Structure 1
Amino acid sequence: MKKIVLFCVAALCAGACIYAQDDSAELDPAVRQYLASQQDGEEEPESAYVKKEKTVPAAKRPQAAAPDKVQAVADANIEHASEKYINECTDTFLYGIEDQISDMLETLTKEEDPRFMDEAYDLFQKTKSPVVRQKILAYFTKLKDPCLEDYAVSVINDPYDEKRDTVTACFAYVSAVKTADAIAGAVDLVDKDDDQYFDAALNCLGEIGTDDEAVFLSEYIDRDDLTKAQKQSLVRVLGKLKAVSTYEKVAELAEDENQDSFVRMYAAEAIGAMGVPEAEELLLELFESRDANLRASVVKGIKHFEDQTAVQLLIEALRDSQYKVRLEAVGAVDELDIKDSVPYLVYRCKDRSEQQQVKDKCYDVIAKLNTDEGNEYLVGLITDKKTGDTTKGKVAAALLKYNYAGAQEIVSLASETLKNDIQKKLRYALGKEFAKYGRPEYAAVCAEFIASKDVMTQGTGLDIYAKGRYAEVTAAVQALADSGSDPKKAKNVNVRKAQRILGIDPDAQEPES
């Protein structure tokens, strides 16, 4: 390990001149400004933060629903594209009781359905129910629509007459829609050290704060009355803000072996995210720590540098003795698209002692990196009869997600599962993956699924068809839809499903007596 770190440091030093001459233009402007101030010997003023005045944004109505978002809802749930469903939702907004409205809003939020923003906004202005109000806040939080900024900022500026859940929902909302007007109220609550709202306000600043708020927090962290948890949260939020002006303070925390372990971890992640060149050498040193959690955080931090020194450390981290470090390293080589990592990832998958979550992540990354060695290994798992069905399902999902290799083998595997009900679970898993993409090469297996006597298999086949709309399969779907006139099949859920896919109103189809 020592040799690896020394090699990385040497590589870092060797590239320093090149970096200074050629790469300075690629640095973040904030990093360049920081480096210039260090060369000039500038000192930070004793207190640089000036509190902002509390203001409330003007009221506004929701934005118009984007057509692609509306279409996405229809594609995801055919039933919810019907006029009947739209009318039911509209009536629930107008006449429903609290439980009915809450349940409906949860569904709309989960599906990110933007068709009812005006109805939700109008109800928000009238309702006296805190539960409904919070559900509507959650709905607009998911949609990231700023129509409730005025309400949310007013609550944050003076939260003490509101229910705590409502205040928490307001913080989540302004964080999602990036409401700058909420900064002043959030800073005020942090500065008051209000236990009730400290964490929520602090996390909010991590999402919407600027370099100015980072300076405020870096000064705040020196307070003697902070709890261990508060200090941990402060450092974590400083990492989110990536404020280069706080680098020295955060680097000191990362280096200090007497600091709380989590403080050091968050500090290591933060200095990496800031992108200051000297942080890379410090992270290399910290990777020698016996603390696996700190090493995992070093991996999170150093991936921001994307140079050969970082790559070398990340590949070494794939061989770390602790699985949590290996797992972070797999994620990092994924983000940086490091194809040289594939042999190490394949080895991790073959290692019988490896943690399953590491293997599962490796399958996905190997498929994404698209190398001959990686593709051959994954396709081999699909075709090998000794591979378990659970593993085959995971590998197939990874290969189909990126679609570089294995499609034919996976389709053949799906056809085989149709002949053996012992493999139903794998059959359903593969069908679910086919239904995500609707590619032309799935047409034949789609027809096979629809021809199945198993209701779930047939239903999955209809899902595949709904996505791919294969001309050669339409006749089979039409035949299934027409079978609704047969009393023996009229109650079959797939008959109704086929009718909806073809645009036929199931309720208008009266079975013959």
Structure 2
Amino acid sequence: MNAFDDPELQELADRLASPDPGLRRVAVLDLVDCPEPEAVTLLIQALRDPDPQVRQEAAKVVDEFESEDMADALIAALNDSDEVVRNAAAHALSDLKDPAAAKPLLAALEESRDPFVVAGILRALKSLREPAAREPALARLNAADPGVRREAVGLLGWLKEESNLPALIDRARDDDDAEVRRAAVGALVYAEPASVAEALRYVVGDPHWQVRAEAMNSIGKLHHQDSLPLLIEATRDNTWQVREKAADAIGKLGRVEGIPALGECSRDAMSNLRKAAIGALGAIAHEQCRPYIQTALDDPDPDVRKLARWAQSKLSAA
């Protein structure tokens, strides 16, 4: 007896019931082209297949389907015995972006104690910007697992609520994991500059270069003018990536006081930093930028020369 009236769907169901896992994997891929709503039922079946490679394929194509039931199946897949399946399910959950998924995600978050599962659910809730996720995220800022704290920080940043700032600032300054601090610094960019200025000044001295670089990036995005001296100082950081982000931020502030520091960066041995400096000088487009831009027209890196020509056109138009 056939389970489906549609012949194409029934043929796919038969292949997914085959003892050959290779046929089942191909059937999963063919499900994507099936227009029938009932195809979701078969995809959920594939997510529970005994063969991990079939489950992997199913998790990878989930974003082609729209169904509240899919969230439940993916949450279950976060507990899969196969690491590739777990990672694929976590990625698919974050791409689901279905508001109807918020309720099962929150319910699963309440029940789960596995750090990987919790982190995956928080990541999925972030893309939904679900206000009800605020309290669960705040509660997990002190989780033992840094991956959970990092995802909680990211979710709180996306919610863009003023009341979340103290908790984010605390993580940016004092978390013992550099990746959590970096994520918290990046999450502060929705705030009024004055609200986070002190925290940004503090993390500019963070021992980890990625946190310092993120601080430069956040200062630039916030256009925090009072931080210009910090940015100028950061153009002498011992890590070129920090110097690069500082140069970008100075360009965003558009202040002529930053031109000499950018000029120094435009002569750096690292071409990525020279590009950032010339781009910033073009953004400022002040006459004092001209000598550095002129020199960069003969730079050995073609990308730097291209940017220099653009910066020169900005000067001409100013």
With normalisation by structure 1, the TM-score equals 0.46
Contact 1:186 1:204 in 2 (8 A): no
If you compute each CA radius of gyration, which structure gives the higher value, 1 or 2? 1
The aligned residue for residue 367 of structure 1 is 251
Aligned position for 2:148: 263
1:170 corresponds to 2:55: no
Q: Distance in 1 between matches of 2:124 and 2:171?
A: 21
> What's 1:412 paired with?
294
Amino acid at match of 1:344: L
- Residue identity in the other structure for 1:364: D
> What does the per-residue CA deviation read over 1:220-243, in whole Å, with 9 as the maximum and x for residues that have no partner?
12335x533222222233333321
Residue-by-residue CA offset, 1:169-222 (whole Å, 9 max, x unaligned): 524x64xxxx6x254324323236562544433433323334542332222123
SS for the counterpart of 2:250 is helix
Aligned equivalent of 1:291: 176
1:250 is the counterpart of 2:141:
no
* Aligned twin of 2:17: none
Q: What's 2:125 paired with?
A: 238
Q: What are the within-5 Å matches in structure 2 for residues 95-134 of structure 1?
A: none
Aligned to 2:92: 204
Structure with the greater relative contact order (CA < 8 A, sep ≥ 6): 1 or 2?
A: 1
Q: Does 1:328 align with 2:214?
A: yes
Question: 1:399: which partner in 2?
Answer: 281
For residues 202 and 434 of structure 1, do their structure 2 counterparts lie closer, same or farther at Cα, with a shift above 3 Å needed? Answer: same
Partner of residue 318 from structure 1, selected from 192, 201, 204? 204
Residue 252 of structure 1: how far off its partner (Å): 1.1
Report how far residue 291 of structure 1 moved.
Answer: 0.8
Structure 2, gaps ≥5 residues long: 1-24
Q: Is the 8 A contact 2:154 2:187 kept in 1?
A: yes
CA distance in 2, matches of 1:166, 1:364: 41
Is residue 141–residue 152 contact of structure 2 (8 Å, CA) maintained in 1? Answer: yes
Question: CA offsets per residue over residues 314-356 of structure 1, 9 Å max, x none?
Answer: 23322333323212211212222222222211101124xx212
Indicate the percent of aligned positions where both proteins have the same amino acid.
18
Residue identity matched to 2:165: E
SS state at 1:350 partner? coil
Cα deviation code 1:16-41 (max 9, x no counterpart)? xxxxxxxxxxxxxxxxxxxxxxxxxx
1:113-512 equivalences under 5 Å are: 150=35, 156-159=43-46, 166-167=57-58, 169-171=60-62, 174=64, 181-191=66-76, 195=80, 197-223=85-111, 227-256=114-143, 259-293=144-178, 294-351=180-237, 354-379=238-263, 381-382=265-266, 387-388=268-269, 390=271, 391-400=273-282, 402=283, 404-405=285-286, 408-409=290-291, 412-414=294-296, 417=298, 425-426=300-301, 428-433=302-307, 439=313
User: How far off is 1:358 after superposition?
Assistant: 0.9
Alignment of 1:65-80 (within 5 A): none
1:245 Cα deviation after fit: 0.7
Q: Deviations over 1:280-303 (max 9, x none)?
A: 223344445251433323323333
Change (3 A) 1:375 1:148: farther
- Give the 3-state SS of the residue equivalent to 1:327 in structure 2: helix
Kindly tell me: are residues 355 and 216 of structure 1, through their superposed partners in 2, closer, same or farther at Cα, counting changes over 3 Å?
Answer: same
1:156/1:182 contact within 8 Å kept: no
Structure 1 CA distance, aligned partners of 2:119 and 2:157? 17
| Aligned AA (1:223) | E
Contact kept, 8 Å, 2:279 with 2:311, in 1: the verdict is: no
Whole-Å separation in 1 of the counterparts to 2:185 and 2:166: 13
| Further displaced range: 199-208 or 335-344 | 199-208
Aligned residue in 2 for 1:95: none
In structure 2, C-alpha distance between the alignment counterparts of 1:437 and 1:359, rounded to whole Å: 20
With 266-275 and 280-289 compared, the bigger mean Cα shift is at 280-289
Q: Give the partner amino acid of 1:189.
A: L
What are the ranges of 5 or more consecutive residues in structure 1 without an aligned counterpart? 1-129, 135-146, 418-422, 443-513
CA RMSD in angstroms comes to 4.0
After TM superposition, give the deviation of residue 381 of structure 1 in Å. 4.5
Sort the Cα spacing of 1:371 and 1:170 in 2 relative to 1 into closer, same or farther, 3 A.
same
Following the alignment from structure 1 to structure 2, what is the Cα–Cα distance between the partners of residues 395 and 205?
Answer: 39
Going from structure 1 to structure 2, the CA distance change for 1:414 and 1:278 (only over 3 Å counts) comes to closer
- State the distance in 1 between where 2:305 and 2:186 align: 36
Assess if the C-alpha contact under 8 Å between 1:268 and 1:297 holds in 2: yes
* Corresponding pairs, count: 278
Name the amino acid aligned to 1:358: V
Report how far residue 377 of structure 1 moved.
2.5
Q: CA deviation at 1:411?
A: 5.4
* Residue type of the alignment partner of 1:216: P
User: What SS does structure 2 have at the residue aligned with 1:255?
Assistant: coil
Contact 1:211 1:245 in 2 (8 A): no
Write the distance in 1 (CA, Å) between the matches of 2:284 and 2:34: 42
Amino acid in structure 2 at the alignment position of 1:243: E
Counterpart code for 2:294? S
Say if 1:277 and 1:206 are closer, same or farther in 2 by CA, change over 3 A. same
